[in-house]
Amino acid sequence: MISEIRNVKELDEAIDTCTKEFEDKISGAHGKRAVLVCGGTGCLSNDSDAILQEFKRLVEEKGLANSITVNHVGCFGFCSQGPFVKIYPEDTLYCKVKVKDVIDIVEEDLVGGNIVERLLYVDPVTHERVQRQDDINFYKRQKRISLHGCSLVNPDFLEEALGYDGFKALKKVLLTMKPQEVIDEVLASGLRGRGGAGFPTGRKWQFAANQQSDTKYIVCNGDEGDPGAFMDRSILEGNPFEVIEGMMIAGYAFGAHEGYFYVRAEYPVAVERLKTAIKDMEKVGLLGDHILGTDFSFRAYIREGAGAFVCGEETALLNSIEGKRGMPRPRPPFPAIKGLWGKPTCVNNVETLAQVPYIIRVGAKEYAKVGTEGSKGTKVFALGGKVNNVGLVEVPMGTTLRELIFDIGGGIPGGKKFKAIQTGGPSGGCLTEEDLDTPIDYDTLVAKGSMMGSGGAIVMDEDNCMVDVARFYMDFICSESCGKCTPCRIGTKRLYEMLSKIVEGKGTKETLKEMKSLAAVIHQGSLCALGQTAANPILSTMEKFPEEYLAHVERKECPAHVCKRLIRIVINPELCKKCSLCARNCPVSAITGVPGKEPYHIDQNKCIKCGACLASCRFKAIHKE
Amino acid sequence: MALIEIKIEGRNYQVDDSLTVLEAARSCGYRIPTLCYWNHGHNSLASCRVCLVEIKNPRGSRLFASCVYPVKEVPASKGFEILISSPMAVEARKTAVELLLSNHSKDCQTCAKNGKCELLDVANLTGAETGKFIGEKTPTTYDELAPGLIRDTSKCILCGRCIERCKEATGIGILGFENRGFKTIVAPIANRSFSKVPCLQCGQCINVCPTGALSEKREIDRVDEAFKEGKYVVCQVAPAVRAAISEEFGHKIGEENGEGKMVAALHRLGFKKVFDVNFGADVTIMEESHELLERISKHTGPLPQITSCSPGWVNYLEYFYPELIPHLSTCKSPHEMQGALTKSYFAEKEGLDPKDIYVVSIMPCTAKKFEKERKENAALGVPDVDAVLTTRELALLIKRSGILYDELKEETFDPLMGESSGAGAIFGVTGGVMEAALRTAYHTLTGKEYAKVDFTEVRGFEGIKEAEIDIEGSKVKVAVASGAKNAKPLLEEIKAGKSPYAFIEIMGCPGGCLNGGGQPFVKPSLLPKEDKDILDTYLSKRANILYSIDERKSVRQSHNNPEIKALYESYLEKPGSEKAEHLLHTSYIATRERYPH
């Protein structure tokens, strides 16, 4: 255990010892082995904590405690295959592990030295079992900068962070760089904000640095609210020290001595690990006064958000930290001029700050080699929806959607046809087949009518109705609008109602026109980015799938057979085997027939289109039309 | 003041660089509609979006809320141009209003703010179509439990002016946004009733509300009922009403002392007697200065003594500083004193049963509606005052009766309780009670008249004022605060045992009764004939009326009012007598729950 890191010498010693220890642990020196169990929220909710305890119990029971260490680590990213267990030094990755599998891993692998084949990842195409993480297609094209150390280091131990590059950047900055040099370095790296809008991070810092003020603040935005997104959560859960280090470097660069982490209260694991990290750093002196014996002092605090989507908007977030209702403030003044408690403040996303230590360690030049002309480095996406490999993916900027969805994501399940991918969450837009070969970066996404957003990427297939998708996002926005400004509060509700009219077959071409002009006013006239982007899902689906909207309003048809009011579920009498299963499953007794004698028939007046019959029919005799 | 060149609709103008686009445009001859903007916009939320203008620069065009956007950001030198009537801006403002209307109850005909509605005004200005958007409406709340005010969220446009006003005037912040998204409403915490939160009922929120979402609780029906029942209906009018009533009949603010016409109208409305609460104010001074003398000489209570005429302020003290209640004067407020006297002194003289008398107070105040219902204010077993109408309600009463206000010949208050001193008149303005008290206190303490009549140091509209008078060698320090928020530092001083004052005047509303929650609305957009800066000047304009009444009076001190002398000689004997204590003094509640069930 490290007790004090009060100066450079102590830091150097700590880094040397911890690095050696960590390398030994992974490389199996002295005949030791290590068991890493995923401790991300996804796997935790699949019993990974019980798995961890079971490992500890069995290792103890078998008398292996001296030769085998067991601990949890952060998210592996490949969430659809979790919970994960990884064994070092062999680098064996076990997937979808259950508590009852632990005994097998212990007896066969840890004791017997044989791999438990049945728990290895199976490639969906080749059907081959893959032992090592790096050989799995999902991981092959990834480059981990923000996720550095996630799924490798124990997030509860400062020693493990120190053993895996931790605080090398902080040391470099405090001892060899002037604040302006840090800003220049970040500017040169081309780093842009990972929270969505992609504002150059160095420029933001420069604005704040230019302000004369006795107090400045750095705020880390961990209020990740996009449906399906969990990048920030996984980073904070997997390596909180890296983000704190990034925050301290930012503070040093523009003159902030206090930092606030604003994290959703729905992320209890992240909050807990961050708390532990801050406490441990304070204990050894890495947070507090005169860090490493320099003049730089820094303190970090945590504020938990109550779960409002709008608090991801920086000015609403600042209000929330101040104890006020999370409602955006008009800008100007911008936070860099007048932010938290009226002081110059920079609000940086978790992922942005997580990139900073890496930039400092390798240098801007090296960092800028990754990415595209206007967008440097890597971006983490939360890949979800109709895609085989659901999970967190960190790829270099400029990766194409095809690579993301088909190579890393493994394509669409069930051989269905790819239809669209929604990036940028409810603020973004959708991209289609024709955009698949577009390299993803901030600018190309905007040019294509979407946006990077915080990194949510939801894949849709031919069974998704795009009007319904737009309606889903509008419903989300309606309830997440803060209620402050008129266009967002009432306008989005009216848009939702227009969409509802359309999916119910009551819309006309006039509705489409009205929707477009209202959407334009909401976009132009709302107070904050939530409102300004609220109509994006509608505008983008209308632009990319005009024929689908027309089908709804002109022919009153839903081509994807999703909108209940516009479809019928029917039984083909020629295929019906008269088994009566559908009738027994119908919750409203809409299906009649005589078992074994008369084919079954659905009374359309009674049918609620729940689809229970469809799912129950074993003979594919029922279909939507 | 530095100048900046801006470009509006193709023309260049030099404007003060500290202005917002809205204010700058106003100075260049453009009026951009507003709703959430209020008085220089320092609290503006920029939420309503009806002031959107297009700001064009060489890189593109965007809409901004002109009420908060600084002109500094849009210098003509950098190619910025402000477009007020571009299709984009016009469409956006119109749509914003149409959206508001789509979620509004639109029962304009019977609305309390009929004719005073800013939403209707901007609807007209923007050419909004009411039927443009039709859809679900936000679930609404109608709260009429509190005696003073009504909240009807079906008319609320969530501009947030009331929220800011409450914070600014009282420092409490009773109102805030509740719920999220389309369900957002403005409400006290957890959408409680005004009667279930520590609301002062001062009505400052009503005065800034652009629509009928906040209004006073009308009591005209009760008065009608009293007439119908054949009661002996008497009315009495507060000092501040006469300074503003003419505004309701088209007069410019501060233009006319409405006293004579108002009295004439009240006589025509059938009130048996029309008394002047200025008389009650004189009584209050007699009692209050006696009480002060007792506290100073006989230590009958702690110092400083604090005035008790403002019911909003009394509410504040009971809710937030109950431990300081001993400092509060036990005097009832002037109209309660006068109500009690009407039902005793006057009733005895006329041979009436107090139960048959119905006293109607015409007040600039909504908190008085609450005050009259306090059990403590019922000296004769019946309420001292039976109904309280605001200045605005009085105007409605007059208009309803077909009386043409401006054609009335002036009449005077009825005798017995109709004569007043100049001191009574200035009760309606912050510092007035103190000034009136100082004129008499000296006399009470020394038996001699003070050489000075005007105490200008306690005049004006600063939040806290102080003065010192020399009473035969000993210096007495006094302080005046208006707006409950400004009372706080003075109260904290008392709590800490460091208050240097002997006597403090506190009014719940900033500026005093002139600015009460029942006074005519001062909404610049609806008062095109008023000066642009009317919100900065209306208080002093109204105050000037009261000060000139004071100046013109032959009797300037309460104790020299002949009717006051008669009252004490023939009925009360002396200030603080047993009878006076019974009729004119009250007690307070130290255990008022802030959030009762």
The CATH code of the domain that includes B578 is 3.40.950.10
Q: Which of B180, B185, B189, B211 to mutate to test the interface with A (most CBs of A within 10 A)?
A: B180
Q: Which helix (H) or strand (E) holds B26?
A: helix B21-27
**Interchain CB distance below 8 Å, B102 and A325:** no
**Nearest 5°: phi and psi at A270?**
-60, -45
Neighbours of B304 (CB within 10 A): 21
**Interchain CB distance below 8 Å, A486 and B49:** yes
Distances (CA, A) of B399 to A63, B262, B269: 97, 12, 11
Contacts of A492 in chain B (CB under 8 A): 182
Distance between CA atoms of residues B54 and A535, nearest Å: 20
Question: Which residue in the block uniquely carries the two structure tokens 């600042």?
Answer: A318
Residues linked to residue A457 through DSSP beta bridges, in sequence order: A383, A423
Interface residues of chain A, partner chain B, Cβ below 8 Å: 308, 325, 327, 330, 332, 477-487, 489-494, 497, 517-518, 521, 524-527
Closest by CA position to A224, among listed A393, A352, A73, A385:
A352
Angle at alpha carbon of residue A152, lines to A151 and A157, rounded to 5°: 105
Closest by CA position to B65, among listed B53, B83, B73, B80:
B53
- B146 and B240 together in one domain: no
- Sorted by sequence, the CB contacts under 8 Å of residue B400 that are 6+ apart come out as none
Q: By the CB < 8 Å criterion, does B71 face chain A?
A: no
Q: Which CATH number covers residue B149? A: 3.30.70.20
The Cα of A459 is separated from the nearest Cα of chain B by a number of Å equal to 27
Whole-number pLDDT of residue B474: 83
- Residue B595 domain-assigned (yes or no): no
- Residue B589 domain-assigned (yes or no): no
The Cα of A614 is separated from the nearest Cα of chain B by a number of Å equal to 34
- Residue B194 domain-assigned (yes or no): yes
CATH architecture for the domain at A568-624: 2-Layer Sandwich (3.30)
Distance between CA atoms of residues B555 and A38, nearest Å: 89
Distances (CA, A) of A303 to A244, A264, A281, A286, A312: 14, 8, 18, 20, 13
- B110 and B257 together in one domain: no
Distances (CA, A) of B170 to A483, A538, B174: 25, 45, 9
CA of B53: which chain A residue's CA is closest? A525
The fold adopted by the segment(s) A466-553 is: de novo design (two linked rop proteins) (1.20.1440)
Q: By the CB < 8 Å criterion, does B131 face chain A?
A: no
Neighbours of B226 (CB within 10 A): 18
- Sorted by sequence, the CB contacts under 8 Å of residue B462 that are 6+ apart come out as none
Angle at alpha carbon of residue B112, lines to B109 and B118, rounded to 5°: 85
**Interchain CB distance below 8 Å, A482 and B184:** yes
3-state SS, residue A516: helix
Indicate the residue of B70, B91, B180 with minimum beta-carbon distance to A479. Answer: B180
The Cα of B103 is separated from the nearest Cα of chain A by a number of Å equal to 7
CA of B90: which chain A residue's CA is closest? A521
Contacts of A319 in chain B (CB under 8 A): none
**CATH class belonging to A378-461:** alpha beta
Neighbours of A622 (CB within 10 A): 21
Q: Which of B35, B42, B99, B179 to mutate to test the interface with A (most CBs of A within 10 A)?
A: B99
Distances (CA, A) of B233 to A240, B100, B222, B230, B239: 76, 44, 11, 8, 20
- Residue B596 domain-assigned (yes or no): no
Cis preceding linkage at A332, omega within 30: yes
Q: Which of B216, B244, B266 is the last residue of a domain?
A: B216
Q: How far is CA B519 from the centre of its chain?
A: 6
Neighbours of B144 (CB within 10 A): 14
Amino acid at position B597, single letter: H
Whole-number pLDDT of residue B446: 85
Indicate the residue of B62, B70, B180 with minimum beta-carbon distance to A332. Answer: B70
Mean pLDDT by 10 residues, chain A (625 residues): 90 96 91 94 95 96 92 94 94 96 94 94 89 92 92 95 96 97 97 91 97 97 90 95 98 98 95 97 97 97 93 95 94 94 97 97 96 94 94 94 94 93 90 93 90 90 95 93 95 97 95 96 94 93 96 95 92 92 93 91 93 92 91
Indicate the residue of A330, A332, A478 with minimum beta-carbon distance to B181. Answer: A478
Indicate the residue of B52, B179, B181 with minimum beta-carbon distance to A525. Answer: B52
Say if CB B76 and CB B7 are below 8 A apart. yes
CA of B176: which chain A residue's CA is closest? A325
3-state SS, residue A559: coil
- B240 and B200 together in one domain: no
**Interchain CB distance below 8 Å, B48 and A521:** no
**Interchain CB distance below 8 Å, B91 and A517:** yes
- B564 and B420 together in one domain: yes
Q: Integer distance in angstroms from the first to the last C-alpha of chain B?
A: 54
Closest by CA position to B226, among listed B387, B361, B392, B366:
B387
Closest by CA position to A166, among listed A229, A231, A238:
A238
The Cα of A559 is separated from the nearest Cα of chain B by a number of Å equal to 27
**Interchain CB distance below 8 Å, A482 and B180:** yes
Check: complex ipTM more than 0.95: no
Q: Which of B198, B216, B234 is the last residue of a domain?
A: B216
Torsion-angle region of residue A227: left (phi > 0), alpha (psi -120 to 50) or beta? Answer: beta
Whole-number pLDDT of residue B469: 86
- The count of C-alpha atoms lying within 13 angstroms of the C-alpha of A234, restricted to the half-sphere facing its C-beta, is 29
Residues linked to residue B174 through DSSP beta bridges, in sequence order: none
Say if CB B349 and CB B183 are below 8 A apart. no
Distance between CA atoms of residues B331 and B66, nearest Å: 49
Whole-number pLDDT of residue B36: 94
The strand pair at A217-222 and A129-130 is best described as: unpaired
- B144 and B46 together in one domain: no
Contacts of B45 in chain A (CB under 8 A): 330, 484
Distances (CA, A) of A613 to A374, A603, A605: 52, 13, 16
Q: Where are the domains of chain A?
A: 32-136, 162-367, 378-461, 466-553, 568-624
Full 3-state SS string of A328-370? CCCCCCCCCCCCHHHCCEEEEEHHHHHHHHHHHHHCHHHHCCC
CA of B132: which chain A residue's CA is closest? A514
Contacts of A477 in chain B (CB under 8 A): 181
CA of B138: which chain A residue's CA is closest? A490
Q: Which of B216, B231, B253 is the last residue of a domain?
A: B216
Distances (CA, A) of A267 to A219, A223, A384: 17, 9, 19
Taking 50 as the pLDDT cut, the residues of chain B under it are: none
**CATH class belonging to A32-136:** alpha beta
Question: Looking at chain A, how many residues does it have?
Answer: 625
- Residue B597 domain-assigned (yes or no): no
Q: Which CATH number covers residue B21? A: 3.10.20.740
In CATH terms, is domain A162-367 a member of 3.80.30.20?
no
Question: Rg (Cα) of chain A, in Å, rounded?
Answer: 27
Give how many domains chain B has, as a whole number.
3
Q: By the CB < 8 Å criterion, does B43 face chain A?
A: no
Q: By the CB < 8 Å criterion, does B157 face chain A?
A: yes
Return the structure tokens found at B586: 């009250």
The Cα of B441 is separated from the nearest Cα of chain A by a number of Å equal to 47
**Interchain CB distance below 8 Å, A487 and B49:** yes
Question: Rg (Cα) of chain B, in Å, rounded?
Answer: 25
Q: Which of A490, A513, A533 to mutate to test the interface with B (most CBs of B within 10 A)?
A: A490
Neighbours of A334 (CB within 10 A): 16
- B195 and B295 together in one domain: no
Contacts of A518 in chain B (CB under 8 A): 95, 133
Q: Which helix (H) or strand (E) holds A593?
A: strand A591-594
Distance between CA atoms of residues A277 and A244, nearest Å: 8
**Domain boundaries, position B34:** 3-99
**Interchain CB distance below 8 Å, B48 and A490:** no
- B121 and B256 together in one domain: no
Looking at residue B556, what DSSP letter applies?
A: -
Return the structure tokens found at B20: 């917002």
Say if CB A270 and CB A182 are below 8 A apart. no
Residues linked to residue A299 through DSSP beta bridges, in sequence order: A258
- B93 and B24 together in one domain: yes
Contacts of B122 in chain A (CB under 8 A): none
Distance between CA atoms of residues A29 and A257, nearest Å: 41
Say if CB B570 and CB B298 are below 8 A apart. no
Q: Which of A497, A518, A521 to mutate to test the interface with B (most CBs of B within 10 A)?
A: A521
- B47 and B109 together in one domain: no
The Cα of B60 is separated from the nearest Cα of chain A by a number of Å equal to 12
3-state SS, residue A405: helix
Q: By the CB < 8 Å criterion, does B286 face chain A?
A: no
Return the structure tokens found at B40: 């220089």
Distance between CA atoms of residues A552 and A567, nearest Å: 11
A/B interface, count of CB pairs below 8 Å: 109
**DSSP labels for A444-455?**
HHHHTT---TTS
Question: Which residue in the block uniquely carries the two structure tokens 């131990």?
Answer: A157
pLDDT in tens, B325-336: 999 999 999 999
Question: Looking at chain B, how many residues does it have?
Answer: 597
- B424 and B552 together in one domain: yes
CA of B51: which chain A residue's CA is closest? A525
Q: Which residues of B320-342 are buried (b: 16+ CB within 10 A; e: fewer)?
A: bbeebbebbbbbbbbbbbbbbbb
**Interchain CB distance below 8 Å, B180 and A481:** yes
Whole-number pLDDT of residue A228: 85
CA of A325: which chain B residue's CA is closest? B177
**Interchain CB distance below 8 Å, B49 and A482:** no
- Sorted by sequence, the CB contacts under 8 Å of residue A66 that are 6+ apart come out as none
**Interchain CB distance below 8 Å, B95 and A521:** yes
**Interchain CB distance below 8 Å, A332 and B52:** no
Q: By the CB < 8 Å criterion, does B561 face chain A?
A: no
- B189 and B335 together in one domain: no
Angle at alpha carbon of residue A500, lines to B120 and B102, rounded to 5°: 5
Whole-number pLDDT of residue B56: 95
- The catalytic site residues of B sit at 288, 291, 309, 329, 368, 371, 376, 513
**Interchain CB distance below 8 Å, A484 and B182:** no
- B159 and B256 together in one domain: no
Q: Where are the alpha helices (DSSP H) in A363-491?
A: 364-367, 401-402, 442-447, 466-480, 486
Contacts of B154 in chain A (CB under 8 A): none
Say if CB B263 and CB B413 are below 8 A apart. yes
- Residue B593 domain-assigned (yes or no): no
**Interchain CB distance below 8 Å, A527 and B136:** no
CA of A307: which chain B residue's CA is closest? B180
**DSSP labels for A228-242?**
T--HHHHHHHH-HHH
